[in-house]
Structure 1
Amino acid sequence: MTALGFLYPGHSGEDDYPRIEQLLGSDIRVDLVHTDMAEDVLRVDALRALGSPERLADGMERLRLSGAETVVWACTSGSFVHGWDGAQDQVRSLAMMAGMPASSTSFAFVHAAREIGVRRVAVGTTYPEEVAALFTDFLRAGGLEVVATRSSGIVTAAEAGGWGEEEVLTLARSADVADAEAVLLPDTALRTVAHLGLLEKSLSKPVLTANQVTVWEALRLADRRVNAPELGTLFTREPIVQA
């Protein structure tokens, strides 16, 4: 049994995680601990506070009891708002608290893109433009070329969590451009796992979504590879060997 740990802020799209657990198979367990959200607003200062050491430490104390072997901070915006270096410091601090390998959803996107061998990406975000720009900056710092960005201007995770298949598909299509080798949907509040097959069929290219890459990242840290076609290209492709 491989036990994967996740720190997830608030309550929006968290039901993606038991869905993923079911698709992965019986020897993988997904343990989710909710961290505190003092304010549900997609504003830079609030997002920086969301991933504060105090909040992560409180969540880690509860997650440690689960027996998790790896831990991922399951909040894209709560990591990339610190910039590449700040997000690395955040992950290092989390690993020290946890005593186990750690990462965040922001780094998961960069690692997942490398895994499937794509460099040019389009980004479809629920975020306001200011927050979306910080995510594209983060991706570029990770070596990806962002060829298009779509901002939806949503200001709360709760609103993103209320989106269904039609809204998610519209966002992905509006973000996509011909030059993009993959489309990224970065909000962990957005429920996307049930729509991955439709998204990739509609766009005819890989689609990487926040909760999908978050669980893949936890598996990567645990040195596990799982073939799960329902979870998209990321869970079916052979890894790319980096030169």
Structure 2
Amino acid sequence: MTALGILYPGHSAEDDYPRMEQLLGSDIRLDLVHTDIGTDAHRVDALLEMGSADRLAAGVAELRMSGAESVVWACTSGSFVYGWEGAHEQVRSLARTAGMPASSTSFAFVHAVQELKARRVAVGATYPKDVAGLFADFLRAGGTDVISVCDAGIITAAEVGTWGEEEVFALAREADRPDAQALLLPDTALHTAAHIPALEKELGKPVLTANQVTVWEALRLADRRVNAPTLGALFTREPVVQV
């Protein structure tokens, strides 16, 4: 059994995680701990507070008790808003506090793009324009060529959490570009786990979503590969065979 720790801000699309746990198989357990978000707003000041070391540390003790082998801060905007160097310090602090390998959803996107060898990506963000731009800047700092950014201008995670299949597909279609090799949909408040194969079939390319890459990153930190096509192209790599 591989136990993976997820620090999830508030309550919006956390039901994506039990869905993904079921799709991954019986030997993967996702241990989800909710953190206090403070002010629910996609504003830089609120996001900096949401991702502060004190707020993350408050959830770590419970994860240590669960036997988790890695931990991921499951918040895209609450990590990239710190910038490239600040986000590195955020996960270093989390790793020290947790006593286990740590990362965040923002770094998960960077690593997932590298895994897929996608050089050019398009972004469909639920955020306001300025916050969406900070995500694009973060990806570029990680070596990704962001060719377009589409923003939905939504202020709160609570509103994003109400989106269903129709809204998710509309954002994906609007954001996609023919020359993009992958489409990225940030925001862990967005329900996407049930839609990834259909999105990839319609768009004809890999689709990376926040909750999906968060789980993939937690597996990567725990040195696990899982072949789960129902979670998209990112999960269709063959597992590493131990000899």
Q: Residue 65 of structure 1: CA displacement?
A: 1.1
The separation in 2 between residues aligned to 1:193 and 1:17, in whole angstroms, is 8
Equivalent-residue separation in structure 1 for 2:131 and 2:210 (angstroms)? 15
Matched residue, 1:28: 28
Aligned 8 A contact 1:182 1:208 in 2? yes
**How far apart in 2 are the matches of 1:119 and 1:24?**
27
What SS does the corresponding residue of 2:68 show, helix, strand or coil?
A: coil
Q: Could you tell me whether the CA contact under 8 Å between 1:11 and 1:34 is conserved in 2?
A: yes
String of CA shifts for 1:3-57, please: whole Å, max 9, x gaps.
Answer: 0001000000100000000000000100000000111111000000001010011
Q: Does 1:157 align with 2:149?
A: no
Q: How does 1:106-185 map to 2 (within 5 A)?
A: 106-185=106-185
Q: Distance in 2 between matches of 1:238 and 1:166?
A: 32
Superposed structure 1 runs of 4+ greater than 2 Å apart: none
Aligned AA (1:33): V
| Whole-Å separation in 1 of the counterparts to 2:119 and 2:188 | 22
Mapping of 1:10-21 within 5 angstroms?
10-21=10-21
**Any idea what SS the aligned residue of 1:193 has?**
coil
- Matching residue of 2:196: 196
Work out the percentage of aligned pairs sharing the same amino acid. Answer: 74
The Cα offsets for residues 123-165 of structure 1, whole Å up to 9 and x where unpaired, read as: 0000000100000000000000000100000000000000000
Gaps of 5+ in 1: none
Q: Distance in 2 between matches of 1:154 and 1:192?
A: 17
| 1:197 aligned partner, one-letter code | P
In structure 2, the residue matched to 1:59 is 59
Determine helix, strand or coil for the equivalent of 1:29.
strand
What is the one-letter code of the residue matched to 1:110?
A: V
- Uncovered stretches (5+) of structure 2, i.e. residues with no partner: none
Corresponding position of 1:220: 220
The AA in structure 2 aligned to 1:130 is D
Within a 5 Å distance, the mapping from 1:97-112 to structure 2 comes to 97-112=97-112
Q: Conserved in 2, the CA contact under 8 Å of 1:183 and 1:208?
A: yes
CA distance in 1, matches of 2:147, 2:237: 23
Q: Is the 8 A contact 2:219 2:225 kept in 1?
A: yes
What is the TM-score of this pair, normalised by structure 1? 0.97
Contact 2:12 2:158 in 1 (8 A): yes
Superposed CA RMSD: 0.8
CA contact (8 A) 1:116 1:237 kept: no
Tell me the secondary structure at the aligned position of residue 29 of structure 2.
strand
> Could you say which residue in structure 1 is the equivalent of 2:209?
209
Per the TM alignment, residue 218 of structure 1 is displaced from its structure 2 partner at its CA by: 0.3
* Counterparts of 2:226 and 2:13, CA distance in 1: 22
Query: CA–CA distance in 1 between the matches of 2:134 and 2:124?
Result: 13
For 2:131, the aligned partner's letter is V
Taking the aligned partners of 2:2 and 2:222, their CA distance within structure 1 comes to 8
TM-score, normalising length: structure 2: 0.97
**Alpha-carbon offset, residue 237 of structure 1:** 3.1
SS in 1 for 2:20: helix
Q: Residue 7 of structure 1 corresponds to which residue in structure 2?
A: 7
CA shift for structure 1 position 176 = 0.4
Partner of 2:72: 72
Preserved contact between residue 164 and residue 191 of structure 1 (Cα < 8 Å): yes
CA drift at 1:62 = 1.7
- Counterpart check, 1:187 vs 2:187: yes
The alignment partner of 1:4 has SS state of strand
